[in-house]
Amino acid sequence: MKKLTIYLSFLILLFIQTSPGTAAPKDGPKNIILLIGDGMGLGQMEIARLFEYGKKGHLYIETLPYTALAHTYSANNRVTDSAAGGTALAIGEKTKNEMIGVTANGKEKKSILDLFKNHLYKTGIVTTNSVTDATPASFTASVKNRWEDQHAIAKQQLQTKVDVIMGGGLSYFGANEKGDTNLINQYKKAGYQFVATKQELQHAKSDKILGLFGPKHLNFKLDRNKLHSQEPTLTEMTAKTIETLSKNSKGFFAMIEGARIDHASHASDLTSIWKETIEFDNTVKYCVEWAKKHPDTLIVVAADHETMGISSSEPMDIKALKQISVTPHYMASQLQKNKSGIGYTNQSIRKVFKQYAHMTLTNRDIALFQSDIKNDRNQVYPDQQIAWEIGNRIAKHYHAGSLDRSTEKLSTTGGHTSNMIAVFAYGKGANQFHGVMDNTDIPKILAELMGFAF
Ligand SMILES: [Zn+2]
């Protein structure tokens, strides 16, 4: 009888160790929250710190006990885009710019989120961008080109069975002219609760949530009042995600992205870099405070790359930049088209710069603006070019540290840089993050801590 008991215990032990669904991690964390500030370099953090708290103040992120620096180059470029940068953080391997969730030779590879999923942990992705955009997609989909088909990425996310998906991107989930079906209905059939406003999100009770709060990316924090935005904040989406994933679960993995730090940086919009980074910082604070009540949690804060060489230059006029109350994207929307439909009226250009950026343009400035927008060939985000032209002029006027527009124009990533990014960690396993590492080391360390094999 005793022998039989020993034999049975041995069998049970063997089962626990070999079955992927039940394998207990070797004392790894129960929950991992990976927060990614898209385009958030040390310059963006410094701008947010100075604007919000002054010279002697501190961001919350700075209080995390473990820090490291990471290189971000991609397989085919010294400077990464968000696709290769996100993929490195997701699959632990370098890939080429524009590739998502695949290796440099185009082979699909499981992401750290997939590994959690395979081991029956809950998973979630949250972003202020479209949920199908590069960073969230790197964790939940595999495509050879990020611009290929957002609807196909949304479909893959359904197949991946991510428990919580929140952000923008509603326009990619509907039926379309290419004959794709309405994905919202398919998500509902698969047991997801679909929510589209802040109120609906607050009342959501399901274990599986699809929250899409805008057609593409969510609004910039700075424009939200002006646009009467009904969207939840990044912190509100994160709070609901943690609440949902931690309910009756063995643990979870969540990727939370502050996506618009990158968008603000591309436009050299120092005011929005401040606002977006502070929103991200608040979200980090929320997660760490939750982790303090759930000590078996690991929080890692990273970035996919730096954007526009943002820096805290000495002559920068912080006071003036803080007085700007809308983004260059909003300003662009206020320009009046010429009667011909090409270009904008001189009068509206003068008015917009005066009203929102408190700048007086000369006739020469206006003529130059007109010719610059006419000759712009922005291949990366053609729809953003007017906003970038406005933002760049404001940054220059107030002497903020940002790449010159001519350098940005030559860049295939729209102004990303290869500056090292900072990594911060708190909680169980946080001491693994130190020194100078590679971006691919981050998911490798997470997998190692959990006892998962890539
Ligand atoms: Zn970018």
Q: At 362, is the pLDDT very low, low, confident or very high (cuts 50, 70, 90)?
A: very high
229-234 contacts at long range (C-beta below 8 A, 24 or more positions apart): 230/197, 230/198, 230/199, 231/197, 231/198, 232/198, 232/201, 233/279, 234/126, 234/128, 234/258, 234/279, 234/280, 234/282, 234/283
Distance 76 CA to ligand 1 centre (A): 17
Tokens for 177, please give them: 């002219």
Segment 39-48 mean pLDDT: 98
DSSP-derived 3-state class of residue 144: coil
Q: Mean pLDDT over all residues of the chain?
A: 92
9 included as an active-site residue = no
Share of residues in the chain with pLDDT > 70 (%) = 93
User: What is the mean predicted confidence (pLDDT) over 207-221?
Assistant: 96
- Going by pLDDT thresholds of 50, 70 and 90, the confidence category of residue 21 is very low
From the list 9, 19, 74, 82, the catalytic residue is 82
pLDDT at 17: 45
Q: How far is the CA of 21 from the centre of ligand 1 (A)?
A: 37
For residue 124, the surrounding DSSP H or E stretch is strand 122-130
Amino acid at position 449, single letter: L
At residue 15, the pLDDT reads 47
Q: From the CA of 266, how far away is ligand 1's center (Å)?
A: 6
Give the per-residue pLDDT at 19: 44
Structure-block tokens of residue 128: 């202020």
- Identity at 237, one-letter amino acid code: M
Q: Average of pLDDT values for 190-208?
A: 97
Q: What is the pLDDT of residue 379?
A: 55
Q: How far, in Å, CA of 19 to CA of 208, rounded? A: 25
- For the cut 70, the answer to whether the pLDDT of residue 302 exceeds it is yes
Instruction: Compute the distance from residue 436 Cα to the ligand 1 centre, in Å.
Output: 23
Highest mean pLDDT among 15-19, 263-267, 376-380: 263-267
Distance of alpha carbon 198 from alpha carbon 231, whole angstroms:
5
Residue 25 scores a pLDDT above 90: no
Question: What average pLDDT does this structure show over 187-201?
Answer: 97
Confidence band of 22 (pLDDT split at 50, 70, 90): very low
Name the CA radius of gyration of the chain, rounded: 23
> Mean per-residue pLDDT for 206-221?
96
Q: What is the mean pLDDT of residues 303-331?
A: 98
Among the listed ranges 54-63, 237-246, 384-393, which one has the minimum average pLDDT value?
384-393
Which residue has tokens 């010279």?
55
Distances (CA, A) of 213 to 251, 269, 357, 396, 447: 26, 23, 29, 34, 32
Residue 424's pLDDT band, with cuts at 50, 70 and 90, is: very high
Determine the average pLDDT of the residues in 213-224. 96
| DSSP secondary structure code for residue 425 in this structure | E
For residue 323 the two structure tokens come to 């007085």
DSSP element (H, E) containing 253 = strand 252-258
36 vs 378, higher pLDDT: 36
**How far does residue 196's CA lie from ligand 1's centre (Å)?**
26
Average pLDDT over residues 104-131: 97
- What are the DSSP calls for 53-110, one per residue? H-TT---SGGG-SEEEEEE---SS-SS--HHHHHHHHHHSS---TT-BSB-TTS-B--
Correct CATH for 28-312+415-450 of 3.40.720.10, 3.30.300.30, 3.50.50.60, 3.40.50.620: 3.40.720.10
pLDDT at residue number 9: 53
pLDDT digits (tens, 9 = 90+) for 70-103: 999 999 999 999 999 999 999 999 999 999 999 9
Residue 149 has pLDDT above 90, yes or no: no
- Give the mean pLDDT of 59-68: 98
Residue 440: its pLDDT value, please?
98
Region for 49 from its dihedrals, namely left if φ exceeds 0, alpha if ψ lies in -120 to 50, beta otherwise: alpha
Distance between Cα 22 and ligand 1 center (Å): 39
CA distance 308 to 80: 13
| Domain locations along the chain | 28-312+415-450, 318-400
Q: Once rounded to an integer, what is the mean pLDDT over residues 8-14?
A: 50
CA 139 to chain centre: 12
Distance 55 CA to ligand 1 centre (A): 28
Which of 221, 227, 223 minimizes the C-alpha distance to 326? 223
